[in-house]
Structure 1
């Protein structure tokens, strides 16, 4: 079989529309929590969530996100990354979209439990992998690994001490583990009750059982 070739490069603001179109075809419809909330069906039926799209792409101007492009010019994978500093203001979730708000509540709860800056007193900044997604026709061909490897280069060049990845999918967690990331926290979906306390907010099918927080150290923390 002929090797399928692609190149990697940093995402720029001019790529934003292409990135959203790519996520619409893949991440928005196949990520476990998007399926759980029904946002996948919204996108399948042509109903968009501007808040989700902005959450995914607002980090692009930082210059820390990377994309994979096939030899024919097709976008086949993205890794959307944003810098976080110790003294950044705390995020307040005021999302008007109830489905996406549930996802943001889960991520915020996981961040509070992890409390990464208290855990590592020498840590002043990190690069947070917010979204990683690969074209379904290119999965299993090393594109995810290549995106993460390139992200490590970008993070090192921009003097980040740590790369962090909150894995809502067990598949992405396995990828992080294979690449030498260290797991530092687990929030099981069965333990996340939300504000109502009426049982788990999310119950995705196996093998997805938790948000797993992985880090890769680029400096002493």
Structure 2
């Protein structure tokens, strides 16, 4: 459900390069992480834009994530003005159990650290 949405929303230059674990097979994306940065005070604007989306499933998932984030103010908790988020991580069901999700999380953490973010991992999971 989310994989096609993720792929269609990624600009061509932002797609991950293949690695030894193989996030690509036969020119097909088999795993992806959708990361982003949010600044303190931007959540309301994100929620407004979310309300305008037509994709009800995507809207439902991000709506749930925003509700969870309302309960804990991560900006105050960690004393930061912006957060790096791994918003969605997906691996094709035919390629699960091979460590691809671990590779995607590790790559996301490395990207966050290299971009100067403090790294605190908060995970949520749906099947």
What is the TM-score of this pair, normalised by structure 2?
Answer: 0.69
Structure 1 unaligned regions, length at least 5: 1-19, 25-52, 172-221
* Distance of aligned partners of 1:158 and 1:74 in 2 relative to their CA distance in 1, 3 Å threshold: same
Q: Measure the CA separation in 2 of the matches of 1:159 and 1:124.
A: 12
Count of aligned pairs between the two proteins: 117
Tell me the residue number matched to 1:154.
111
| Match of residue 69 from structure 1 | 24
* Deviations 1:165-212, CA, capped at 9 Å, x for gaps: 55241x6xxxxxxxxxxxxxxxxxxxxxxxxxxxxxxxxxxxxxxxxx
What is the aligned partner in structure 1 of residue 40 from structure 2? 86
**Structure 1 length-normalised TM:** 0.43
- CA deviations on 1:92-116 (whole Å, 9 max, x unpaired) are 2423548334434322211111221
Which is richer in strand? Answer: 1
SS at match of 1:82: strand
Other structure's SS at 2:30 match:
strand
Question: 8 Å contact 1:128–1:163 — kept in the other structure?
Answer: no
Distance 1:96 1:128, change over 3 A: closer
Give a deviation string over 1:55-89, Cα, whole Å, max 9, x none: x836x5895x746223x433221011001122435
Q: 1:149, CA displacement in angstroms?
A: 0.8
**Aligned-residue CA RMSD in angstroms?**
3.3
| Structure 2 residues without counterparts, runs of 5 or longer | 18-22
Larger % of helix: which? 2
The structure with the largest alpha-carbon Rg is: 1
Distance of 2:31 and 2:66 partners within structure 1: 26
1:167 equivalent in structure 2: 124
Residue 108 in 1 paired to residue 62 in 2?
no
